[in-house]
Structure 1
Amino acid sequence: MGTGQVVVVTGASGGVGRATAKAFAERGDRVAVIARGEHGLKGVVEDIEALGGRALAIEADVANYAETEEAAQRVAEQLGPIDIWVNNAFTSVFAPFMRTQPEEFKRVTEVTYLGYVYGTRAALDHMIPRGKGTVVQVGSALAYRGIPLQAAYCGAKHAIQGFNEALRCELLHDRTNVHLTMVQLPAVNTPQFDWLLSRLPRKAQPVPPIYQPEVAAQAIVHAAGHPRRREYWVGGSTVGTLVANKFIPGLLDRYLARTGYKSQQTSKETDPDRPSNLWQPADDGRDFGTHGRFDDRAKTRSPQVWASQHHGLLTTLGFSAVATAVGALIARRRGGR
């Protein structure tokens, strides 16, 4: 049985955004998909309609607030009041910081950080007057832990984290029924590694282990339905990275300095004629789809996602196990007296 909610997904023409839009459509929601690329938008609309869903495609650049605000208004007029807004659109540059031009760094920040700020503002303009709604920020383990060759992207994800925490406190202060939550993702098999600007000598790749976009989409849809939880972590690698960064950040610096360059590149040379979506959509005449080129290496499930979704149950079981162990220890000590 479908929920019949109105959902907006930015960056929905490929990868995680596309998988997420399809996941919402599968449960019966009306889904507005926002992206710059005409062919990718056409493809995701076809995907949604094949699932029996209703889609609204909007070409817009989330780095432009006026376009984002106008997109939100179109959704409200054509699909109905917005219930869920998923900020997912991003771009990046694969290059050392000193080989990333200032205007490129600015553009990554405008899309990947300010795009979330503008999307959130546009969503809240519709949600707060109604007193209900949820914004899901699609984050990354890189929101906590920066890695080499992605300084602009890591900076933007860190900024989203801080922005989201500040705004969440304000909404809690106002006692509104509008909620924010964030989903921190691991490396995902998406087309981004074929369309982001790269100055690396070899083809870019996600740092293994790699997960399929559907794993991320499952977590995002769950988070949208359970937004009182402030944050969700997807993938054991995300948990390991964040824990290591909390307790041994200096050691992690040195580890990434040694391994971070090689782990983000394959053995194949970069195609000098590859597309780049930094300034313009990369899908000129082509729909990149949901998956990247790492299907043979990508995981289709994550036990950690289940654990994240059942955090309360696991906490209860953990306390019960500790209480049982303590009780048994006390009983043994009493029996020995």
Structure 2
Amino acid sequence: MTDRRIAVVTGASSGIGRAVVRDLVQRGTRVVAAGRRAERLTELTEQVRTAPGHAVAVAGDITQAGHTEELLATAEREWGPADVFVAAAGQGLPGTVLGSDPERWERLVEVNYLALLRQLRVVAAEFRKQAEPDDGARARDVVVIGSTVGRQVSAANPVYGSTKFAVHSLVEALRQEVCHHNIRVTLIEPGFVRSGFQEAAGYDAAWFEAIAEENGPLLVPEDVADVIGYVIGRPTHVHLDDIRLRPTRQRP
């Protein structure tokens, strides 16, 4: 069941994160929608105002110290302790090892890896603290958006892909650390998704359209959101911990 649950979703300004908020609220979940663009978050909360669940917006930078704690505190202040955390914030970077912009490497690692590591530490510690009084009687879910390029090396996109390889390792390690508390840590690995991600990262539009022509129809953010809703709705003793979803025609 996803109704009556309380969730925090990062990266909610656009793309997969935004779709996850919309999907969860339609399922009756109460959601803290976090992202960098306040106007986009306000627009989102207005769009779901009549849905069975509810959403409140918190604008901020996930790389800033204390931001994850602020999101959890907002959830508790509004409804009670969060029991779902979806980490959908992230950045892309086009180019190869030789061809990518080295001025963007540090920010990419900060957003995609270090910020996530801090998020996972804060959230897992909070969920474990919650689980101790009830002996893990119910599931608490941490869901992380990875990528198929975090499993299969891509010479065309290796800098971004390497951050996802690191993320995948963190997710599995954390799963092993907290699973005895019925905290389910799940990795979602999408293939090609048509969203604002590519444009924001500066990927070549013609290249992406060629990808879409060869591999499409591509996934859309709602496809990923639907899978996440299904995952966190499983009974407490069932954990779908690692899911890859691709367009049917995508080979690599």
Which band: TM-score by shorter chain?
Answer: 0.7 to 0.9
Q: What is the percentage of aligned positions where both structures have the same residue?
A: 24
Could you say which residue in structure 1 is the equivalent of 2:239?
Answer: 228
Please give the TM-score of this superposition, normalised by the length of structure 2. Answer: 0.85
Cα gap change, 1:238/1:118 in structure 2, threshold over 3 Å: closer, same or farther?
A: farther
Q: Which amino acid aligns with 1:230?
A: D
Give secondary structure in 2 for the equivalent of 1:187. Answer: coil
Give secondary structure in 2 for the equivalent of 1:100. Answer: coil
Mapping of residues 10-159 of structure 1, within 5 Å: 10-131=10-131, 132-159=139-166
Q: Does 1:212 align with 2:217?
A: no
Larger radius of gyration: 1
Contact 1:113 1:160 in 2 (8 A): yes
CA distance, structure 2, for counterparts of residue 238 and residue 79 of structure 1: 43
Contact 2:26 2:51 in 1 (8 A): yes
Q: Does 1:192 align with 2:203?
A: no
Contact 2:85 2:123 in 1 (8 A): yes
Structure 1 moving runs of 4+ over 3 Å: 200-207, 236-241
Q: Out of 94-103 and 187-196, give the one that drifted further.
A: 94-103
Q: Which amino acid aligns with 2:149?
A: L
- Please state how far the C-alpha of 1:236 moved relative to its aligned partner: 5.4
Mapping of residues 291-330 of structure 1, within 5 Å: none
Could you say which residue in structure 2 is the equivalent of 1:169?
Answer: 176
CA distance, structure 1, for counterparts of residue 55 and residue 90 of structure 2: 21
CA distance, structure 2, for counterparts of residue 141 and residue 239 of structure 1: 11
- Please state how far the C-alpha of 1:188 moved relative to its aligned partner: 0.8
- Please state how far the C-alpha of 1:202 moved relative to its aligned partner: 4.5
The correspondence for 1:181, drawn from 180, 186, 209, is 186
Give secondary structure in 2 for the equivalent of 1:211. Answer: coil
Contact 1:138 1:220 in 2 (8 A): no
Please give the TM-score of this superposition, normalised by the length of structure 1. Answer: 0.65
Cα gap change, 1:193/1:77 in structure 2, threshold over 3 Å: closer, same or farther?
A: same
CA distance, structure 2, for counterparts of residue 35 and residue 161 of structure 1: 22
Contact 2:17 2:88 in 1 (8 A): yes
Unaligned 5+ residue runs, structure 2? 132-138
- Please state how far the C-alpha of 1:102 moved relative to its aligned partner: 3.2
Contact 1:89 1:115 in 2 (8 A): no
Contact 1:20 1:220 in 2 (8 A): yes
Give secondary structure in 1 for the equivalent of 2:89. Answer: coil
CA distance, structure 2, for counterparts of residue 65 and residue 204 of structure 1: 35
- Please state how far the C-alpha of 1:235 moved relative to its aligned partner: 2.8
CA distance, structure 1, for counterparts of residue 80 and residue 31 of structure 2: 11
CA RMSD of aligned residues (A): 2.3
- Please state how far the C-alpha of 1:121 moved relative to its aligned partner: 2.0
CA distance, structure 2, for counterparts of residue 201 and residue 130 of structure 1: 46
